[in-house]
Chains A and B, each alone.
Chain A
Amino acid sequence: GQSLEQPSEVTAVEGAIVQINCTYQTSGFYGLSWYQQHDGGAPTFLSYNALDGLEETGRFSSFLSRSDSYGYLLLQELQMKDSASYFCAVRDNTGGFKTIFGAGTRLFVKA
């Protein structure tokens, strides 16, 4: 079957660095995405990795290892506004642009 595993909850303090891991098992793989969702809001796109390595976008970075079926989202200089849910998602290449989402990681940033 297809599945993505990520921790359900992470807590960190303001200014710290936090890493949210994602392992996946899918029938096809085209790329790994990360989305952020604040309470009551819609998911918004953060990053995408199609190839191995690190992609950096400001305070956020995302890493992919295709051989390990593993990726992570790294959030630096945490701010209170980063408190949200973070979803990893795999774009499947076996059926158009079908995307499978993980269950999400709830990040709590404390002062």
Chain B
Amino acid sequence: DVKVTQSSRYLVKRTGEKVFLECVQDMDHENMFWYRQDPGLGLRLIYFSYDVKMKEKGDIPEGYSVSREKKERFSLILESASTNQTSMYLCASTSDSLYEQYFGPGTRLTVT
């Protein structure tokens, strides 16, 4: 079974803090994604990566950066957290030969 894990299920941070969200997949997938999910807005793509050290902006990259130093790990960084970044963050992965994305359990981030 494909397993995608995220470092925290719940996280509370203060405005202005630097926040790291970690995602690890164990199936040697080339492609990894970070989404945020807000009620009524569905899943919105923040960044994705198709190879180590490669990254592409999604639809809402502002205020975020990413890092992919190893194939299995994709990190999302909030340089200076703001209250409008309070959301559910979902990581996903897929391989070049698959249609489906496999999602992690999500991290519910609250910025106060």
Q: How many A-B residue pairs have CB under 8 A?
A: 56
Structural contact, A42 and B106, CB atoms closer than 8 A: yes
Given A42-B90, A42-B103, A45-B101, also A98-B42 (CB < 8 A): no
B101 to chain A, nearest CB (A): 7
Whether a CB of chain A sits under 8 angstroms from the CB of B58 is yes
- A residues 42-67 touching B (CB-CB < 8 Å): 42-45, 48, 50
Compute how far the CA of A96 lies from the CA of B99 in the bound complex, rounded to whole angstroms. Answer: 12
Set A31, A41, A103: member contacting B41, Cβ < 8 A: A103
B109 to chain A, nearest CB (A): 16
Whether a CB of chain A sits under 8 angstroms from the CB of B25 is no
Compute how far the CA of A45 lies from the CA of B48 in the bound complex, rounded to whole angstroms. Answer: 18
Compute how far the CA of A99 lies from the CA of B41 in the bound complex, rounded to whole angstroms. Answer: 15
- B residues 23-73 touching A (CB-CB < 8 Å): 31, 33, 35, 40-45, 48, 50, 56, 58-59
The residue among A8, A99, A100 with the most chain B CB atoms within 10 A of its own CB is: A99
The residue among A44, A97, A100, A103 with the most chain B CB atoms within 10 A of its own CB is: A97
A92 to chain B, nearest CB (A): 10
- A residues 33-90 touching B (CB-CB < 8 Å): 33, 41-45, 48, 50, 87, 89
B45 to chain A, nearest CB (A): 7
Given A100-B45, A101-B43, also A45-B100 (CB < 8 A): yes
Structural contact, A96 and B50, CB atoms closer than 8 A: yes
> Using a CB–CB distance below 8 Å, which chain A residues touch chain B?
2, 8, 31, 33, 41-45, 48, 50, 87, 89, 91, 95-104
Listed A/B pairs (9) with beta-carbon separation below 8 Å: A41-B105, A42-B90, A42-B103, A42-B105, A43-B101, A43-B103, A97-B48, A100-B59, A104-B42
> Using a CB–CB distance below 8 Å, which chain B residues touch chain A?
31, 33, 35, 40-45, 48, 50, 56, 58-59, 90, 94, 96, 99-106
